Amino acid sequence: MSKLPKASELAKSISYAFPKVSWMDTKPAFAPGTWCYPAKKDTMEGLGMPNPHNWNPAEEDWNLPENWEEIIYNALKDRLEKYRSLKVFLDICVRCGACADKCHFFLGTGDPKNMPVLRVELLRSVYRRDFTTVGKLLGKVVGARKLDKDVIKEWFYYFYQCTECRRCSLFCPYGIDTAEITMIVRELLHELGLGIHWIMDPVSNCNRTGNHLGIQPHAFREIVEFLCEDIETITGIQIKPPFNEKGHEVLFITPSGDVFADPGIYTFMGYLMLFHEIGLDYTLSTYASEGGNFGSFTSAYMMKKLNAKMYAEAERLGSKWILGGECGHMWRVVHQYMETMNGPTPACMETPKSPITGTVFHNAAATKMVHITEFTADLIKHNKITLDPSRNADKIVTFHDSCNPARGMGLLEEPRYCIQAACENFVEMPENTIREQTFCCGGGSGLNTEEIMELRMRGGLPRGNALRFVQEKHGVNTMACICAIDRATLPPLADYWAPGVSVTGTHELIANALVMKGEIKRTLDLRQEDLPGVEEDE
């Protein structure tokens, strides 16, 4: 009979001895809850992805194509030639460690390979051996290693534990962007037919029907009409949004999560109410019915393809510019990659100018696309809408900067300006957890899938921890955001780390407060719960 372990042994009591194996030789254990389900072969075939095949991350054999080493070698060589940034990032890291403790996945898992510097080292070690002279000569001594199947598994494990949030790059003295490395490694994995279901299914749906869930035009329209019924119940105002109509000034595009999922729908209702109130000349599209771009979590090619669709629709409908809803990565794609990727916008499009205030959005001259909080902040600034913040008086609100708008496009003030105009109580989370330093929700870059809820909670710990702090200190009960993935990922995060805090889009708060011409006396908020003060009135 073996000896019963002591409690301190169970807790793996501290050992000051040096570890027996280096990080290079420790292999990840594919425990359930830490890896995403693989993409289906059919889906990959339909999208024309390379080497589609059946495989299971939990099994030993991933059924890689026979010449997998050659594929990876060529694919990496190709990327190195194409992206100078990749070569620079791989060459210049001095391993100073400034990024090491900045990643939410490292903070939440305690796994050293989630330190951004080590994450990149997983690729760099292979690069060093095959693409640098010193690595070829000196091998392991300079941190070079041979590519083997375990390295591929490790890539899959750790590059799907990076949400491409770019927090680490903020602290790197050289500006090395680990998110870009992650994007490349995911591309390399795709060359071997390795992708995840939660990303590839939406990509495929988006490619065929226009949105992540693959909802067809008539159903999309019907659902929007339900939401209009709800608006009528709440405000007494009937709204009939135009669909696929040509000749309107603005094409409005938002992530489809705002149409299909709670609590995004309340934000969507908020957009419609605002447009109605200001008399915006706009149309929705059932084809460009997705602002999200899971292509950007797949490959540059797929990102380009899905992005192009929005502009093709603007051209078909003859829209002058695009107004974009509260989304995260859509903005990263538009702001950082769109111009290089897709080139100039269609000829019919113009630099956006608010028809209500006359403000010209020069910052959007290239992309012809304005973020809705920029648009609304401008309306508020020019007193074009009336807001009654007492309708949000029951809420003590904080704001979660979504990684992409914050670090990817510098959108920091506008959402705060909107929220503060619509709410009586606003509290910031601690300084080192907001704005450019914001912590990810733990589910960005296509990792917002249920099967890795446990991993998401680990990644969400730093955000949840800061939220818990303001909940306890200031009684915060509402966390606002401007991202549809956030609206999906933050409710469980809040539920686990700071139970009792609810999650809302910024335009839900705006619409609660929006005083509309011809509205009935409002007693309900957008969720059809009593507005503050209603009970006492009765």
Partner 1 sequence: MSTPQGTDEDIRSGTTLYAVLWPHKEAMVNRWVGVVHGSYPFETIGFLRTNSNRFANPVGYRTEEAAKALIEILFTDQPEEATLHKAVDEIIRVRAIQDFPPETAVGVVFALKDIVREVVSASGQGAACLRAMWALESRIDAVALMAFGAYARHRERLHLLKVEEHKRSHSQLMRLAMRKAGMEPEEAEPQKP
C-alpha pair distances (Å), 290 with each of 144, 497, 519: 42, 30, 30
Cross-strand pairs, 396: 425
Q: Does 261 bind partner 1 (CB under 8 A)?
A: yes
Nearest-angstrom CA–CA distance, 428 and 473: 11
In this chain, which of 58, 88, 96, 137 binds ligand SF4, going by CB under 6 A? 96
Q: How far is the CB of 471 from ligand SF4 (least distance, A)?
A: 24
Residue 432 contact partner, candidates partner 1, ligand SF4, none, CB within 5 to 8 A by sort of partner: partner 1
Q: How many CB atoms lie within 10 A of CB 143?
A: 17
What ranges in 424-460 are assigned the alpha helix state H?
453-459
In this chain, which of 98, 219, 278, 534 binds partner 1, going by CB under 8 A? 219
In this chain, which of 465, 471, 506, 512 binds partner 1, going by CB under 8 A? 465
- CA 415 from chain centre, in angstroms, equals 17
Q: Does 115 bind partner 1 (CB under 8 A)?
A: yes
Q: Does 492 bind partner 1 (CB under 8 A)?
A: yes
Nearest-angstrom CA–CA distance, 75 and 184: 10
What ranges in 385-532 are assigned the alpha helix state H?
403, 409, 413-422, 453-459, 461-474, 484-497, 506-513
Residue 308 exposed, middle or buried by CB count within 10 Å (0-12, 13-18, 19+): middle
**Looking at this protein, which amino acid is placed at residue 495?**
D
Residue 45 contact partner, candidates partner 1, ligand SF4, none, CB within 5 to 8 A by sort of partner: none
Tokens of 376: 């609304």
Cross-strand pairs, 370: 323
Sites for ligand SF4 among residues 102-141 (CB under 6 A): 102-103, 105, 116-117, 119
In this chain, which of 409, 427, 496, 532 binds partner 1, going by CB under 8 A? 496
Sites for partner 1 among residues 16-35 (CB under 8 A): 18-19, 23, 31, 34
- CA 63 from chain centre, in angstroms, equals 31
Q: How far is the CB of 116 from ligand SF4 (least distance, A)?
A: 4
Q: How many CB atoms lie within 10 A of CB 390?
A: 13
In this chain, which of 121, 130, 154, 164 binds ligand SF4, going by CB under 6 A? 164
The alpha carbons of the chain give a radius of gyration, in whole angstroms, of: 24
Q: Which span (10-18, 43-51, 175-183, 186-194) binds ligand SF4, by CB under 6 A? A: 175-183
Output 76 or 118, the one with its CB closest to ligand SF4: 118
Q: Which span (100-108, 254-262, 363-371, 476-484) binds ligand SF4, by CB under 6 A? A: 100-108
Q: How far is the CB of 99 from ligand SF4 (least distance, A)?
A: 3
Q: How far is the CB of 18 from partner 1 (least distance, A)?
A: 8
Binding residues vs ligand SF4 (CB under 6 A): 93-99, 102-103, 105, 116-117, 119, 162-168, 172, 174, 176, 178-179, 182
